[in-house]
């Protein structure tokens, strides 16, 4: 007698084109999942919206505006958005999956941070906010949990969920958005907000980082809000030495009740903190940096305890080294993950399916109601309730206590037989037939491994298998650690996660040895950016450490519209030099002159613009008149001289 047919394997859940591989967290308005983009073999964070009002046109419009705002903010200190879309009626957003930890978690951990690191974090966040403000976007919910700290010290702003695009005017009446401890006075009063509101929130964060506690607290929400609006903030009491007075002055101005009394923008506040940091910051000596790199290599080779032990000794011997502190923090997290491997991801996500079903049912009801209304010529149905707000003030407003990242909804085009503009329902895939059971899944997968240069030793879970190029067999079940090592080069580790093995592994091994030095000079302050991390900020003369080899380095000055990327060759222990383009000037007129002027996509001012400082080189100048007419020109700004541009509407 033939045995019973094996049940068909459960298909993995998806949100859009992303395979859901785990849960990352839960917020008041939805879930965030770990996802896999199979086409690009890239892990992402996928946030879904699970809230009433997804059919509300106002909510959809807000999602669309906020989605466009986030997608166009490409900056090293802002999380990158890959896609905003809709899956079975549920809006979602896919973004880069960031390692590291939130600033909130770091502050609550009790770990003592060096003043230098505190200022570096705040300055980076302010640079990202300045970029957003230049694009007309106000975050409106800056708080430590919306700041992600990567292991290399890079800070990234997350969750532009209640951000507002300055020109849209789309808001929900009677609704106060933000997190109470970090709200600005004008935000509490319900006034129109600009970038100075974010400056106030960053002043609260700076005060909290310096003091270890929030400046405005109370027994309930109304008391906190009253203090923010009416009472002065406490003065700094920490022992900050010679830097207490300048930092107190900076905090005082950032937390001014009247926006006109604050720093005019995030960039200006960042510049003031940079001046303090430049005077205070200490450079980690090159031998100590070499020791840190060597200790981190131990972790990459799987020697987690040895790495943590070595870095703890380095940090104790060099208590003023921010790099040693950061490396030790990362090593301790590596060790903890190694001792407590993550639980295998579930193959079912009932809350996700429930969301799809709920939204699908609501969509169907909405479509049916719309069809009935059209057929009977009755007035259209009332819109949905919209976003559910959490926390009441006892007043006529509500406070969203935890901002969630925006989601962009996309409507599918209408198909024959459906009402134009009515949402569509995507049916679930048909279940596999029990009469044709799927074959048993394989227990191992073949994985080609290559390296540049070749001849690298290949080890899987500590077991050496041969040298590259090589095709290895990887057990499908469980996670695995693939390490490639070659004499004279840095070892490279690849994490192989169960259920999402790549088609192949290709690794470019970097030469080992002491790093080289790149000396950067400029006639104006610039940032030196390498692999998305700013190695120096606002300096006219900088010396940064880079690994051996040929690399792309970008010099950035937002105020002078500079983003200059060059290739540099670094030798072990050697030096290379790089100079930023000289500065020139730009004068702009227009006929008629009632237009906005943009340089390289960033709004500058209304004409006439006289002798605006700018990095020498090619720039794009665009003009936009109130009726929507646009004109664009390319101009070459000479070093030490002025370029002239006139925009003409006709």
Known catalytic residues? 141
Cβ pair 303, 481 in contact under 8 A = no
Distances, alpha carbon 486 to alpha carbons 270, 456, 519, in Å:
43, 5, 30
Cβ pair 586, 642 in contact under 8 A = yes
Question: Residue 566: enclosing H or E segment and its boundaries?
Answer: strand 562-570
> β-strand 505-508 against 444-452: which pairing, if any?
parallel
Rounded Cα distance, 133 and 139, in Å: 9
Distances, alpha carbon 194 to alpha carbons 124, 167, 414, 596, in Å:
19, 11, 38, 18
Query: How does DSSP classify residue 37?
Result: E
Q: Which residue has the tokens 């969509």?
A: 363
Sign of the CA dihedral running 304, 307, 313, 315: negative
Question: Residue 132: enclosing H or E segment and its boundaries?
Answer: helix 115-134
Rounded Cα distance, 639 and 650, in Å: 31
SS3 579: strand
Rounded Cα distance, 217 and 224, in Å: 5
User: Which stretches of 227-321 are assigned E, i.e. beta strand?
Assistant: none
| 416 CB-near residues (< 8 Å, 6+ apart) | none
State residue 126 phi and psi, 5-degree precision: -65, -35
Closest CA to 334 of 99, 79, 496: 99
Rounded Cα distance, 566 and 518, in Å: 12
Structure tokens belonging to residue 109: 């951990």
| 167 CB-near residues (< 8 Å, 6+ apart) | 136
Rounded Cα distance, 163 and 73, in Å: 12
CA torsion 183-186-187-189 (nearest 10°) is 120
Question: Taking phi first (over 0 means left), then psi (-120 to 50 degrees means alpha), and beta for anything else, what does residue 343 get?
Answer: beta
Bridge partners, residue 586, by sequence = 612, 643
Burial of 108 (0-12, 13-18, 19+ CB in 10 A): exposed
Cβ pair 35, 18 in contact under 8 A = yes
Structure tokens belonging to residue 31: 């879930």
Query: How does DSSP classify residue 292?
Result: H
Cβ pair 52, 384 in contact under 8 A = yes
């Amino acid at each position: 007698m033939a045995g019973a047919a094996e049940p068909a394997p459960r298909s993995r859940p998806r949100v859009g084109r992303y395979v859901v591989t785990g849960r990352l967290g839960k917020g008041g308005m939805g879930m965030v999942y770990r996802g896999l983009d199979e086409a690009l073999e890239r892990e992402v964070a996928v946030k879904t919206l699970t809230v009433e009002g997804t059919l509300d046109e106002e909510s959809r419009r807000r999602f669309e505006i906020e989605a466009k705002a986030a997608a166009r903010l490409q900056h090293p200190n802002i999380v990158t958005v890959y896609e905003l879309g809709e899956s079975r009626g549920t809006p979602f957003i896919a973004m880069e999956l960031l390692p590291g930890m939130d600033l909130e978690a770091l502050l609550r951990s009790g770990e003592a941070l060096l003043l230098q690191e505190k200022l570096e974090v705040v300055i980076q966040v302010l640079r990202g906010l300045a970029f957003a403000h230049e694009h007309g976007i106000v975050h409106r919910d800056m708080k430590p949990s919306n700041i992600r700290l990567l292991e290399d010290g890079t800070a990234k702003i997350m969750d532009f969920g209640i951000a507002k695009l300055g020109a849209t005017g789309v808001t929900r009446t009677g609704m106060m958005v933000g997190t109470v401890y970090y709200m600005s006075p004008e935000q509490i009063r319900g006034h129109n907000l600009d970038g100075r509101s974010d400056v106030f929130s960053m002043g609260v964060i700076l005060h909290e980082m310096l003091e270890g506690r929030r400046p405005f607290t109370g027994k309930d929400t109304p008391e906190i809000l009253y203090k923010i609006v009416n009472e002065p903030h406490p003065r700094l009491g920490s022992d900050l030495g010679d830097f207490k007075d300048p930092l107190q002055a900076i905090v005082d101005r950032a937390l001014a009740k009247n926006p006109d009394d604050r720093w005019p923008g995030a960039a200006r506040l960042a510049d003031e903190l940079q001046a303090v940091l430049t005077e205070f910051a200490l450079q980690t000596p090159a031998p100590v940096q070499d020791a840190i790199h060597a200790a981190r290599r131990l972790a990459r080779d799987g020697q987690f305890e040895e790495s943590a032990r070595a870095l703890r000794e380095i940090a104790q011997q060099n208590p003023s080294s921010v790099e040693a502190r950061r490396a030790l923090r990362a090593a301790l997290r590596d060790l903890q993950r190694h001792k407590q491997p993550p639980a295998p991801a579930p193959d079912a996500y009932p809350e996700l399916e429930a969301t799809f079903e709920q939204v699908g049912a609501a969509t169907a009801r909405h479509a049916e109601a719309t069809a009935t209304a059209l057929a009977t010529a009755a007035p259209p149905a009332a819109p949905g309730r919209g976003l559910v707000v959490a926390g009441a003030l006892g007043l006529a407003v509500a406070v969203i206590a935890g901002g969630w990242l925006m989601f962009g909804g996309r409507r599918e085009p209408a198909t024959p037989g459906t009402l134009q503009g009515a949402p569509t329902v995507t049916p679930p895939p048909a279940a596999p037939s029990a009469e044709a059971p799927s074959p048993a899944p394989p227990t191992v997968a073949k994985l080609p491994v290559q390296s540049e240069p070749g001849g690298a030793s290949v080890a899987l879970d500590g077991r050496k298998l041969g040298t590259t190029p090589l095709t290895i067999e990887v057990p499908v079940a469980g996670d695995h650690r693939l390490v490639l090592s070659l004499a004279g080069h840095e070892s490279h580790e690849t994490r192989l996660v169960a259920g999402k093995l790549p088609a192949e592994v290709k690794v470019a091994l970097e030469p080992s040895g002491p790093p080289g030095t790149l000396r950067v000079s400029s006639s104006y302050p610039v940032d030196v950016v390498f692999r998305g991390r700013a190695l120096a900020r606002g300096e006219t003369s900088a010396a940064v450490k880079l690994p051996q080899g040929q690399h792309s380095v970008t010099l950035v000055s937002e105020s002078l519209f500079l983003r200059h990327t060059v290739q540099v060759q670094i030798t072990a222990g050697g030096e290379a030099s790089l100079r930023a383009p000289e500065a020139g000037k730009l004068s702009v007129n227009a006929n008629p002159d009632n237009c906005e002027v943009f340089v390289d996509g960033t709004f500058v001012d209304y004409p006439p613009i006289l002798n605006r400082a700018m990095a020498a080189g090619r720039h794009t100048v665009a003009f936009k008149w109130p009726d929507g007419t646009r004109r664009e020109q390319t101009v070459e700004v000479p070093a030490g001289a002025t370029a002239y541009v006139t925009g003409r509407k006709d």
